[in-house]
């Protein structure tokens, strides 16, 4: 289902965001996060772009990674901070009010991994390409880009079906929040175009949700 | 041909004025801009971009369209949809930095309620200039070497804007009314649609007559103000509408209770709907439904260092710079629409919201959450 667009509604109440997403995606987002985090090693320095309420960052921290988590929503960051305190992970995660377009301030070859969950679909084309090329720069050689996000299905049938369903949901979400998200077109191609090598792709049955792992060549 | 397309888009945009219509974000070149050409930036509400482009016709400038989620500049800035990050993103990802030599960007003044000029400067090195409120003043603004007169700063509610509001209100409401009437009251659907349009036009076009009476906060007690806006204002309007109905009945010779009663009720509902949040439907008064109406902007004069950012961004010209003292004074509190722009821009925290009981909202909260006051822009009608 194309329910990921509903996050625009849940975002308004950051404290309840993860609960709602879990119900609507029937736990699938947790599975995706678990896979992405399984690629991290203890002690890795990781950047989480668009950490939101911190679901992915905290999962990585539990694995022993040091996380720099950035988001532009101050209310979501507050939820994430208090959650990290509760789970005694504050020493591993640094929460920052920062946008993806500020990544040009980061040092070259600084991170072992860059991850992002359901954030790229909130960026426009220019922002996405900027973020990806900065990601390629700030990753260490051999470092990983780990993404799970909503994509536009490749097969025509699925694309039409998904487009119809999504269109209806989009109107509902627009009415509630005035906001929307954009399913990403050709994410692997865009990742390859900035010089990262795609290693692993997994797409769900509907063809509208992708987990992707890419590596910066040595 | 272009003119025709412009007019058609304006009409469609006005009919659906209350829905967000996003324009593509990014860089637009107008004329043949060069390295030293001015850079303008606006939100990505479709109608806004269309009108700004139209106003810039004949000039050689760059126009950056930043993401305001398809909402107009002022609403988006106040509601936290048009943010510092949107401006930063437009500057950094559009490629404008490679095209011009200078580092100055002209933003619409009303965006000052949500975008911190100092933040943009710190993060990107670009200086923000607050341009005029209305697009019609842009060419004069450039001619005057990027200086605004107080007239250019002031938000008004002229006939054209009031007509636009009436149309924007009447179209969706009449569509719903027509749909319901075709189901339940088929004979009268045309009359119903016409009465929706008629009452919307009446309310918005007569608005200036009632403005002085609605605009009494600060000087008189809040009770009398709300008594007028909640009770007498709808009653006066309803009286006018009802006289119109009676006249129509007499002229068309079916003056009887079975006709008068349902129409009397329908018109009452319409007038109540229209006046429910009349203040919020105008740019001159603060909505009764927003939390920030309980607060007043307070100036702490000792902290003022006389930079005058508040004077530059106030849409009601509430502030005056006292030349001798080099400090701001705040004689226009009664006109204040609580947009929060002055609070957001003041680098010394000399301005803040305070309610009657004396509790303050720290300026930092307004900068972070805009008028959501930490996520609590609750709708409290009564």
CATH code (residue A172): 3.40.50.150
Q: For A36-40, B32-36, B59-63, B370-374, which range has the lowest pLDDT when averaged over its residues?
A: B370-374
The pLDDT assigned to A13 comes to 76
Same-domain status, B227 and B138:
no
The pLDDT assigned to A117 comes to 93
Give the domain extent around B225. Answer: 159-276
Calculate mean pLDDT across residues B116-138.
93
Does the pLDDT of residue B376 top 50, yes or no?
no
Name every residue whose Cβ is closer than 8 Å to that of residue B90 and which is 6 or more positions away in sequence: B25, B26, B41, B64, B65, B66, B67, B96
Q: Which residues of A touch B (CB under 8 A)?
A: 72, 74-75, 99, 101-102, 104, 124-127, 129-130, 174, 178-180
Domain total in chain B = 3
Task: Write down the ipTM of this complex.
Answer: 0.83
* Domain end residue (candidates: B225, B246, B276): B276
Residue B381 lies in a domain: no
Instruction: List helix spans (H) across chain A.
Output: 7-10, 14-24, 28-38, 55-62, 74-86, 125-138, 156-177, 187-193
| A102 interaction partners in chain B (CB closer than 8 Å) | 88, 123
Calculate mean pLDDT across residues B269-284.
85
Residue B282 lies in a domain: no
Partner-chain contact A124 B92, CB within 8 Å: no
Name every residue whose Cβ is closer than 8 Å to that of residue A106 and which is 6 or more positions away in sequence: A47, A134, A138
The pLDDT assigned to B140 comes to 92
Residue B167 lies in a domain: yes
C-alpha span between B79 and B371 (Å, rounded): 6
Closest partner residue to B368 (CB to CB) among A74, A99, A101 is A74
| B94 interaction partners in chain A (CB closer than 8 Å) | 126
Same-domain status, B210 and B238:
yes
Using 50, 70 and 90 to split pLDDT, how confident is the model at B373? low
- Side-chain-side CA neighbours of A40 within 13 Å: the count stands at 32
CATH code of B344's domain: 3.30.70.20
Same-domain status, B137 and B202:
no
C-alpha span between B309 and B378 (Å, rounded): 29
| Helix, strand, coil share (%) of chain B residues, nearest 5 | 55, 10, 35
Mutate to test the interface with A, among B90, B93, B370, B378 (most CBs of A within 10 A): B93
End-to-end CA distance of chain B: 50
The pLDDT assigned to A178 comes to 67
Same-domain status, B118 and B55:
yes
The pLDDT assigned to A6 comes to 77
The pLDDT assigned to B378 comes to 42
Q: For B18-22, B69-73, B161-165, B199-203, which range has the lowest pLDDT when averaged over its residues?
A: B18-22
Residue A201's φ and ψ, nearest 5 degrees, are -135, 135
Give residue-wise pLDDT tens across range B199-208.
999 999 988 8
Partner-chain contact B88 A102, CB within 8 Å: yes
C-alpha span between B304 and B327 (Å, rounded): 6
The pLDDT assigned to A2 comes to 63
Residue B382 lies in a domain: no
Closest partner residue to B92 (CB to CB) among A74, A130, A180 is A130
Residue B379 lies in a domain: no
- What distance lies between CA B6 and its chain's CA centroid? 22
Q: In this prediction, what percent of chain B has a pLDDT beyond 90? A: 45
pTM, entire model: 0.86
The pLDDT assigned to B260 comes to 83
How many beta carbons lie within 10 A of that of residue B145, not counting itself? 6
Same-domain status, B96 and B125:
yes
Residue A185's φ and ψ, nearest 5 degrees, are -95, 130
Calculate mean pLDDT across residues B207-215.
81
Give residue-wise pLDDT tens across range B323-354.
888 889 888 888 888 888 999 999 999 999 88
The answer to whether the beta carbons of residues B46 and B21 sit under 8 Å apart is yes
Give residue-wise pLDDT tens across range A43-65.
999 999 999 999 999 999 999 99
Q: Count interface pairs A-B at CB distance under 8 A.
A: 43
Does the pLDDT of residue B296 top 90, yes or no?
no
The pLDDT assigned to A32 comes to 92
The pLDDT assigned to A47 comes to 96
Name every residue whose Cβ is closer than 8 Å to that of residue B189 and which is 6 or more positions away in sequence: B177, B178, B181, B182
Same-domain status, B16 and B141:
yes
Residue B380 lies in a domain: no
The pLDDT assigned to B375 comes to 45
Closest partner residue to A99 (CB to CB) among B20, B26, B85 is B85
Calculate mean pLDDT across residues B27-56.
94
Residue B35 lies in a domain: yes
Does the pLDDT of residue B119 top 80, yes or no?
yes
C-alpha span between B357 and B360 (Å, rounded): 9
Using 50, 70 and 90 to split pLDDT, how confident is the model at B79? confident
C-alpha span between B5 and B1 (Å, rounded): 6
Mean pLDDT of chain B: 86
| A174 interaction partners in chain B (CB closer than 8 Å) | 19-20
Give the domain extent around A27. Answer: 3-215
The pLDDT assigned to B222 comes to 55
CA distances B219 to B37, B222, B307, B370, Å, are 47, 9, 29, 27
Same-domain status, B140 and B251:
no
Low-confidence ranges of chain A (pLDDT < 70): 1-2, 178
The pLDDT assigned to B379 comes to 39
Does the pLDDT of residue B374 top 80, yes or no?
no
Q: For A16-30, A132-146, B71-85, B168-182, which range has the lowest pLDDT when averaged over its residues?
A: A16-30
Calculate mean pLDDT across residues B276-280.
80
Partner-chain contact B69 A179, CB within 8 Å: yes
**B67 → chain A, closest CA residue:** A124
**A74 → chain B, closest CA residue:** B368
Using 50, 70 and 90 to split pLDDT, how confident is the model at B217? low
Instruction: List helix spans (H) across B37-158.
Output: 46-56, 73-79, 84-93, 96-99, 117-124, 138-143, 150-153
Using 50, 70 and 90 to split pLDDT, how confident is the model at B283? confident
Does the pLDDT of residue B215 top 90, yes or no?
no
| B379 interaction partners in chain A (CB closer than 8 Å) | none
Q: In this prediction, what percent of chain A has a pLDDT beyond 70? A: 99
Partner-chain contact B369 A74, CB within 8 Å: yes
Same-domain status, B67 and B188:
no
For chain B, positions 65-104, list CB contacts with chain A under 8 A. Answer: 67, 69-71, 81, 83, 85, 88-89, 92-94
* Domain end residue (candidates: B120, B153, B186): B153
Closest partner residue to A127 (CB to CB) among B81, B83, B89 is B89
Same-domain status, B61 and B114:
yes
CATH code of B14's domain: 3.40.50.11600
Residue B258 lies in a domain: yes
Closest CA to B282 of B195, B168, B139: B168
Bigger pLDDT: B264 vs B286: B264
Cβ burial of B283 (10 Å; 0-12, 13-18, 19+) is middle
Most confident option among B76-85, B158-167, B239-248? B158-167
- Side-chain-side CA neighbours of B255 within 13 Å: the count stands at 11
* Domain end residue (candidates: B103, B132, B153): B153
| B93 interaction partners in chain A (CB closer than 8 Å) | 101, 126-127, 129-130
The pLDDT assigned to B382 comes to 33
Same-domain status, B117 and B227:
no
Domain total in chain A = 1
The answer to whether the beta carbons of residues A53 and A17 sit under 8 Å apart is yes
């Amino acid at each position: 289902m194309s329910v990921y667009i509903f996050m625009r509604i849940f975002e308004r109440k950051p404290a309840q965001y993860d609960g709602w997403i879990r119900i609507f995606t029937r736990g699938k987002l947790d599975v995706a996060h678990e896979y992405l985090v399984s690629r991290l090693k203890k002690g890795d320095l990781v950047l989480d772009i668009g950490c939101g309420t911190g679901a992915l960052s905290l999962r990585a921290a539990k694995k022993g990674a040091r996380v720099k988590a950035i988001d532009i929503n101050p209310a979501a960051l507050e939820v994430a901070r208090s959650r990290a305190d509760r789970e005694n992970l504050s020493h591993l995660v640094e929460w920052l009010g920062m946008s993806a377009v500020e990544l040009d301030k980061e040092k070259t070859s600084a991170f072992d991994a860059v991850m992002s969950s359901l954030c790229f679909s909130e960026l426009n084309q220019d922002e996405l390409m900027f973020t990806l090329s900065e990601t390629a720069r700030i990753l260490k050689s051999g470092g990983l880009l780990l993404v799970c996000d909503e994509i536009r299905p490749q097969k025509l049938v699925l694309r039409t079906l998904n487009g119809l369903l999504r269109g209806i949901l989009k109107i509902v979400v627009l009415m509630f929040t005035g906001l929307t998200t954009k399913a990403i077109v050709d994410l692997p191609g865009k990742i390859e175009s900035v010089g990262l090598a795609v290693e692993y792709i997994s797409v769900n049955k509907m063809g509208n949700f992708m987990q992707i792992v890419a590596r910066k060549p040595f | 041909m272009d003119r025709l397309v412009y007019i058609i888009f304006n009409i469609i945009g006005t009919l659906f004025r209350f829905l967000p219509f996003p324009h593509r974000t990014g860089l637009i070149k107008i004329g043949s801009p060069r390295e030293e050409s001015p850079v303008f930036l606006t939100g990505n509400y479709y109608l806004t971009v269309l009108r700004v482009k139209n106003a810039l016709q004949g000039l050689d400038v760059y126009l950056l369209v930043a993401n305001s989620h398809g909402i107009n500049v002022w609403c988006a800035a106040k509601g936290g949809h048009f943010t510092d990050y949107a401006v930063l993103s437009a500057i950094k990802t559009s490629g404008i930095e490679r095209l011009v030599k200078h580092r100055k960007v002209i933003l619409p003044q009303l965006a000052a309620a949500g975008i911190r000029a100092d933040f943009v400067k710190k993060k990107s090195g670009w200086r923000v200039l607050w341009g005029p409120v209305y697009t019609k003043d842009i060419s004069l603004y450039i001619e005057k070497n990027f200086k605004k007169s107080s007239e250019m700063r002031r938000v008004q509610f002229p006939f054209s804007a009031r007509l636009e509001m009436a149309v924007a209100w009447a179209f969706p409401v009449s569509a719903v009314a027509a749909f319901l009437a075709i189901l339940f009251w088929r004979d009268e659907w045309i009359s119903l649609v016409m009465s929706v349009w008629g009452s919307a036009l009446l309310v918005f076009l007569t608005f200036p007559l009632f403005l002085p009476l609605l605009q009494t906060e600060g000087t008189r007690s809040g009770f009398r103000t709300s008594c007028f806006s909640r009770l007498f204002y709808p009653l006066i309007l309803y009286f006018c509408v009802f006289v119109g109905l009676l006249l129509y009945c007499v002229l068309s010779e079916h003056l009887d209770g079975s006709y008068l009663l349902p129409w009397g009720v329908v018109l009452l509902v319409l007038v109540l709907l229209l006046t429910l949040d009349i203040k919020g439907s105008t740019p001159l008064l603060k909505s009764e439904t927003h939390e920030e109406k309980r607060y007043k902007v307070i100036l702490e004069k000792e902290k003022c260092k006389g930079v005058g950012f508040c004077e530059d961004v106030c849409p009601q010209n509430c502030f005056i710079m006292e030349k001798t003292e080099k400090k701001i004074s705040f004689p226009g509190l009664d006109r204040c629409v609580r947009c929060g722009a002055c609070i957001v821009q003041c680098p010394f925290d000399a301005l803040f919201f305070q309610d009657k009981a004396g509790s303050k909202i720290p300026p930092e909260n307004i900068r972070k959450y805009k008028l959501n006051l930490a996520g609590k822009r609750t709708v409290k009608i009564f």
